[in-house]
Structure 1
Amino acid sequence: MSGRTMQVLLSTYNGEKYIGDQLDSILQQPYEHIKVLIRDDGSSDNTVAIIENYCNRYRGRIQLLKGKNIGVIPSFWTLMQQADQKAAYFCFCDQDDVWMSDKTVRAVHQLEKMEQEQPYGITIPAMIFTATQLTDAQLNPTVIWPGKPAREPSFYNALIQNIAVGATVSFNYQTLRLLMNTQDDVNLSNIQMHDWWMYLVISSMGKVQFDPQPSIYYRQHSNNAVGGEATTFQKVKKKWRSYKKHKDQKLLVRQAQEFQKIYGAQLTNQSMIEQLQAFVTPRTDFAAKLKFLRKCRLYRQSFIENLLFRFLIIIGYI
């Protein structure tokens, strides 16, 4: 395995309770070539003081950016803008999880393998994401989530569903460059989440891989519950409420339109071009909706969620 640098992109906000555990798990990784770039999103507790203490203890390995409270997506976007251009690999990181000891070694190995599989020495954008080991607030393991996707990660999935848990995502420099080459043109208000945007972009122009082996202990507590242990019915019920609440905003279509604006001209796969255009084209009557569904190749990862997607198309929520 190479000795190329992996930079951790970590956004913090009022994370004094758990940030020390997370930083310890990063700095104790056996892969030695790790640097950490932290952007604090305007914390009002002791988070910054704790991080500054780590900066003093691990000089040269941790860099802290102090900022105003701008929210999750802009904070991670800023981290990508400020990322080390000499690093080969990067990964997103949340403040309240704990990394498994082999996380970075596995990530670098998998990304290197994905790069080496390309012909003629061409390096393409590549990202991996993994399952997580859900835990309670005290890091007692509960269940592994999510399970292996029913279907492979792809652009046809990414247009309408994000299956990449951001805290597990690792990616190569070509991915960073692809996203940041258009940084000034992207309207972040049209993006659902930074990890979803990356999944959408890289699934269309690079390689995306899922690893079913967990790489993090995904701490569940009152401030971050993600519903990882919810039943399929509960998840669908939650999604229905969300779609109903935002029915006039058409959030998925807005994100797809933003993608088309930024990257549509770079797409070379004719099927992707056609499916994207069909999804963003207004469906003004019942006949148009049926025509779209007959030719639609987009999919979510469960049978019930696919039924919900089709129903939402029919009633005009998407």
Structure 2
Amino acid sequence: MPLDISVALCTRNGARFLPAQVQSICTQDRLPREIVLSDDGSSDDSVALVRQTMAACGVASSIALTVFENRTPLGVTRNFEQAVRACRHELIALCDHDDVWHPGRLARMAGVFEARPELLLLHTDARLVDEELRSLGSTLFQALEVQPAELEAIARGDAFDVLLRRNLVTGATTLFRRTLLKAALPFSEEWVHDEWLGAIAAAIGRMDVLPEPLIDYRQHGRNQIGARRPTLADKLRKATDTRGGKHQQRLRRAQALLERLESLPGPVPEARLQAQRGKVAHQRFRAELPASRLARLLPVLREAARGRYDRFGRGKQAIAQDLLERG
């Protein structure tokens, strides 16, 4: 039986790009039942453009539109939370204002959910394009340096183990089952909404990925969250940067997820709870490393020998960061 789809569209001064995005939604092979538009304090005519584009596409009577206009901006995560709370249908697609969906996107993704009742969240690759929708010659997964082993692990049901090391879920490519919100709401203050939804889905059930680009992911100077493949110089700069507060922030994120999982009324697999407790311990270890590089050497080598950098982080890359960062 076909599942109805809601689109959670969040905007902020997106007038330049919105018509193309809304048109791509309204000309899908399989139309959504509704668009929930949450505008975060735009000073342009973003909201009016959504209405005009829907009318021009001839779908104003077939796709319901709900509009929120925030006079005081909520920020990206809270704006998306407001939008998804108002979505009424079984599947929810997250939608930024500056991308373009490929024509068969919703049909392709919804079909996977209909074939797999246990699936909670599905995300995909994306084609990277510039402001004028010209291809940049790479995809989102290439920019993130996604490895075949990571995709294979997600496909066999081990997504939580992959996300323990790093996030791969980009909201603009994501469709999820509305029942996921029972565990995910309210979104954590420490997390971005898409990372949070992915982590919760992987922890309590099944999350999967389609390694095919189903949207054009526009890259421009005003992206709130974008994608770019790091160069060797970028990686060296990151490894030798000041430690600052990022390790404390990662610890707070890990603790927030553990607290949510432990508070859920439904059973969370014990192996995943134990894994998240290990993640918290590893992040605490990294946050508490001494300022002196020399004093970090033995503790980091011991932690690496226990396999915790590979289990809970980016392996050699994280080891190098902890040894080289300036205190």
TM-score range, shorter chain: 0.7 to 0.9
Write the distance in 2 (CA, Å) between the matches of 1:235 and 1:77: 32
Correspondence for 2:184 among 179, 186, 210: 179
* 1:236 matched to 2:235: yes
* 1:164 matched to 2:169: yes
Match of 1:298 in 2: 311
Match of 1:62 in 2: 65
Write the distance in 2 (CA, Å) between the matches of 1:239 and 1:103: 35
SS in structure 1 at match of 2:116 = helix
1:1-318 aligned within 5 A: 2-54=1-53, 58-59=60-61, 61-67=64-70, 68-84=72-88, 87-115=89-117, 124=118, 126-142=120-136, 143-147=138-142, 149-150=147-148, 151=150, 152-153=153-154, 154-180=159-185, 183=186, 187-188=188-189, 190-191=190-191, 193-224=192-223, 228-234=227-233, 236-237=235-236, 239-240=238-239, 244-247=243-246, 250-264=248-262, 266=264, 268-281=268-281, 282-283=284-285, 292-293=303-304, 294-296=306-308, 298=311, 305-313=314-322
User: 1:12-66: CA deviations, max 9, x gaps?
Assistant: 0000001011000001111134311110000011112212434666145221111
User: 1:241-300: CA deviations, max 9, x gaps?
Assistant: 7773434x5222111100111113556434333332233233357676555441425355
Deviation at 1:129, TM superposition (A): 0.8
Gaps of 5+ in 1: 116-123
SS in structure 1 at match of 2:274 = helix
TM-score by length of 1: 0.82
Contact between 2:23 and 2:54, CA under 8 Å: does it hold in 1?
no
TM-score by length of 2: 0.80
Gaps of 5+ in 2: 290-295
Q: 1:275 and 1:3, CA in 2 relative to 1: closer, same or farther beyond 3 A?
A: closer
SS in structure 2 at match of 1:215 = strand
User: 1:140-161: CA deviations, max 9, x gaps?
Assistant: 1222221453323422332341
SS in structure 2 at match of 1:258 = helix
User: 1:147-177: CA deviations, max 9, x gaps?
Assistant: 4533234223323411111100111122223
Write the distance in 1 (CA, Å) between the matches of 2:91 and 2:205: 15
| Structure 1, 142-151 or 60-69: larger mean CA deviation | 142-151
Deviation at 1:79, TM superposition (A): 1.3
Write the distance in 2 (CA, Å) between the matches of 1:292 and 1:264: 26
The alignment of Structure 1 onto Structure 2 pairs a total of residues equal to 295
| Structure 1, 99-108 or 307-316: larger mean CA deviation | 307-316
Write the distance in 1 (CA, Å) between the matches of 2:234 and 2:209: 21
1:271 partner amino acid:
A
Q: 1:32 and 1:278, CA in 2 relative to 1: closer, same or farther beyond 3 A?
A: closer
Contact between 1:129 and 1:209, CA under 8 Å: does it hold in 2?
yes
Q: 1:43 and 1:230, CA in 2 relative to 1: closer, same or farther beyond 3 A?
A: same
Contact between 1:125 and 1:173, CA under 8 Å: does it hold in 2?
no
2:75 partner amino acid:
G
